[in-house]
Structures are given as C-alpha cells and as structure tokens.
Structure 1
C-alpha cells in the first residue's frame, strides 16, 4: 500500500468483478487463488471457474498489453492432478488471448514448504514427509518469484521464452533442509523420516482435509517424490533466482 497499491474486493470466479478490478491496467499478474481449499469436494471444478473467469475478464481489456501467470513446475507433467491440475489449463486459457505478451512462471518447490518443518524439528528434532530425503528439489523463495514477476510486468525484464521454470540458485534435498533447520534452531541432531502415502493421507484427514483434497494432495506429492513432476529447462541466467535456502531460513527464523 505504501508504494501506491490499491486493494479491491473481488470474486475471482466472477468475470465482471475481475474485469472491473483489472480496468485501466496495462499489465496483469494472474494466478489460481487460493492455492488450496482443504475442505473442497471438487477442486478441479473450482479451478475451472477461476480460469474461465480470468480468461473472459482479460479478453479485449482496453490498454492491457502484458500478462504474467503464476503457474508451477507441475505444468510440465501432462498427468498432473490434485491441487495442481489447473496450472496447465490456466496457461492454455491465457495463451488464447489475442494481442498480448503472455509469460508463464513455473517455479519449483517453494522454500516456504519447509516452514512446518521448523516447529516440528524445534520441538521433536524430527521432520516427516513423503518426499525422499535425498531427492534434489529446485527450491525457490517466493519473494524471488515476485521479483521476477514484477520485472516482467513493468518491462524491466524481457521474456525470451513463453515459460520460465524458476528454480533457485541450486537444488537442495530434504536431508540438507533438515540439517540447516536443525542448526538454526539448536537441534544439530535433527533428522528427516520418510513416511508412506497412507500416513500422509491420514494426517491430512486429521487436519481437516476432505477425502477429495487429501487424495489429491497425496497424489501430487507422490508425483514429485517419484519424479513425474520435474524441471525440463536448465538452470541458467533466465531461470535461476538468487536466494539460497540458508538465506531464506535466516529471514524467517530471525
């Protein structure tokens, strides 16, 4: 707000409401929000409504020249389902908008995914998850995604490809993530324990997820764990972002 932002209350599945919010814009940042509705019983239907509404709202909008979408690395996988089912569909819908420069950001594994591990390790010394401890993950801080999006939206950065698979400065494993968190919270003996799909699903149900969302979230995580969701572009000057996991951790813990 201090930099001139204006908040507008809209229904993100209502094209007229969105069109009013986008009125006067020369560039638009588009995403499927919220990224997760734990008690949903038909999340794909919700995503479909949001995608359709955004496509209709942006079509022919006076003055609009540039669109940046927040997609994800799951869009690289044709069979992506669960909470990430709509990412490829969002891209495809925006690609049909005539006369616009459209760029899709496909970031990898959010560093913020590790935040629940911080308290778990602080309290118990152990973190649990479905992804193997030694699987290299293209970890990225969400602040870096925002910086890339802002540069594209303002024209400070030119997109040389329609999709950018943003992936941080280097891959990290959950073994490394656990060790870094352990050092930061005074648990040098911290360890990571891999769980199975049934345990993950049961935990999500206990946390209030509907069976539909528990199944979808578990399937999505399996797709990462078994490398069906993976990067296809190299890490280079176009796709690498600067924040290391250690730098991210220092910001969120201190």
Structure 2
C-alpha cells in the first residue's frame, strides 16, 4: 500500500498520475476529495481530512508500506518552523504506531551548509524529525521549482521583467515538478531500498537569472529582463501581497542563503541530473501561460 499526501497539489498530483496505472494499492489523504478526478476516485482509496491531523494520518497509514510526504505551504502561518513541524510531528507518531516501512519526502538542498535559511532550514528540520523515528527515508533534495516562475507571469507579460532577491549572475540549478514527481514515483515503486539518505534532484543545468531571461526572451519572442530586488524590499512586497511577516521573512532568508551558495553545495552527477531543461519548460508551460493571460 502506497499513501500519497497532497494528491491534488502541484507535485502530489503528478506522483499519483505516475503510479495510478500500476497494480499497487493506493490510498490518498485529501482535504477536499471533490477535487480528485472521477478516474482517481474510482481507482484509489480516499481518506478525507488534513494530513496534519493525527487521527487522519493514523487511519490513512494503516497497512501502508510507503508514504509520499509533502508539507503544503501556508503563506499566512505565524511561524515557518511551527507550520512545518505541526505537520511532521503527527506524521512521525503515525509512522511509528502503524509500522510504516518507507517515507519519501519533498525536502531541499543545503543540508550541512545552511543556517537561519528560512524555509530551507524548516525543511531540513522536517528531515531530522522523520529520521529520528528510524523509518527508511529518502529526502528529495531539490532547488527551486521552474513552476515558481508562473507566479511572475503578469510582470513578464506586461512589463517584460521578473524579480528575484538573488544576484543576476548567480548560477543555480532549477527543476521541473514533473521530474520531481518521476523521482518520487520511482522510489515509491521500488521496494528494495533501506536506510536514510538524500536524493538530489537537480534538473539538467545551472542557470543564472540573467541566463533565464535570455532563454525566456527567445522562447516568448519578446524582450524579458531580470531585476534583482533587495531582500528587505522583497520581504515587504510579499507582506503587501498578503503573506504573514514570518512567512515573508522566511522567503527572504531563503533567498539570501541561495545567493550565498545553498543550492551549489551539491555536486551534479548523472543520477541527480533530470531531463527537463528550462528552455523546454518555457516552451511547454511558461509560453502557454503568458499567452493565456494576454
């Protein structure tokens, strides 16, 4: 039995798609089961409710061999660490009580090198808490998602610009969520691994924001430039858009850590290199999104 959290989320939905046609028994935890497609509801067992609820988790993990674990964001949370650990603590209790064998979690790069890094630090604290249970664990260690650029479709379309709080020449990996999902599905379907380890999922290349702007300009056939935003201004803008002070501070601290090399500490290997490059992603995802909103 494989249990999937966030089955309607950006990554969880694609993980589910990757394993839906296998013969594995699948159970999902869904806060709103009505958002699941009819095909999914016919194929899987659904446990309704939030996956930070111990009762929901205890029910969902009964008889489970493997769990795909994601902590969903809450931009209005009053503490980044508190939010992440409020999900992770009941997971750990349910994993121990139900004898779950394996957990595959969505985590981050930067272990052993980052401090006070906002959302990165919270994800790494999640890993440590899960590992303390003794469960076999694979932490998917990832940089930022290419899909994060979709939050900037409007300024790209109307102004030909996108904004980040990192240097224009800082080359970092980025990854498409489809490749994260494929890596997670492979681990969930593989019953041979044991122990605890990180699995880097790095995309195929390191690009700077200036490099990304050049690629976007070519794919969109319009000029696109990058503009760096100071961390404090970046935070202030997030708060104006409705984020809590704590969540915005976590985002700013994460950006500072990335600009100092948090995403560059993991050496790229053939195993950690995933197939979807930024140009392909722009052609298949960003360009239709920009066109749709024109």
Q: Give the TM-score normalised by the residue count of structure 1.
A: 0.88
Residue 68 of structure 2 corresponds to residue 29 of structure 1: yes
From 95, 102, 109, give the equivalent of 1:73. Answer: 109
Distance 1:47 1:68 in 2: 16
Structure 2: gaps (5+ residues): 1-36, 289-294
SS in 2 for 1:193: strand
- Cα 1:182–1:164 shift into 2, 3 Å: same
**Conservation of the 8 A alpha-carbon contact between 2:170 and 2:208:** yes
**Conservation of the 8 A alpha-carbon contact between 1:29 and 1:153:** yes
Distance 2:113 2:59 in 1: 34
Structure 1: gaps (5+ residues): none
Equivalences for residues 108-187 of structure 1 within 5 A: 108-155=143-190, 162-187=197-222
**Conservation of the 8 A alpha-carbon contact between 1:72 and 1:87:** yes
Does 158-167 or 87-96 show the bigger shift?
A: 158-167
How far the C-alpha of 1:156 sits from its partner, in A, is 7.3
From 276, 282, 285, give the equivalent of 1:243. Answer: 276
Give the 4+ runs in structure 1 shifted more than 4 A: 156-161
SS in 1 for 2:170: coil
Distance 1:73 1:157 in 2: 24
Residue 259 of structure 2 corresponds to residue 191 of structure 1: no
Distance 1:7 1:169 in 2: 35
How far the C-alpha of 1:79 sits from its partner, in A, is 1.0
* Equivalent residue, structure 1, for 2:88: 51
SS in 2 for 1:39: coil
Per-residue CA shift, 1:128-186, capped at 9, x if unaligned?
A: 22111111111111110110111011107858971112101111111121122222323
From 216, 219, 231, give the equivalent of 2:253. Answer: 219
Distance 2:278 2:192 in 1: 25
Distance 2:152 2:195 in 1: 37
Higher relative strand content: 2
**Conservation of the 8 A alpha-carbon contact between 2:169 and 2:210:** yes
**Conservation of the 8 A alpha-carbon contact between 1:68 and 1:153:** yes
- Cα 1:157–1:171 shift into 2, 3 Å: farther
From 93, 101, 120, give the equivalent of 2:129. Answer: 93
Distance 1:80 1:165 in 2: 21
Residue 51 of structure 2 corresponds to residue 15 of structure 1: no
From 264, 267, 270, give the equivalent of 1:234. Answer: 267
SS in 2 for 1:239: coil
SS in 1 for 2:48: coil
**Conservation of the 8 A alpha-carbon contact between 2:80 and 2:250:** no
Distance 1:114 1:70 in 2: 19
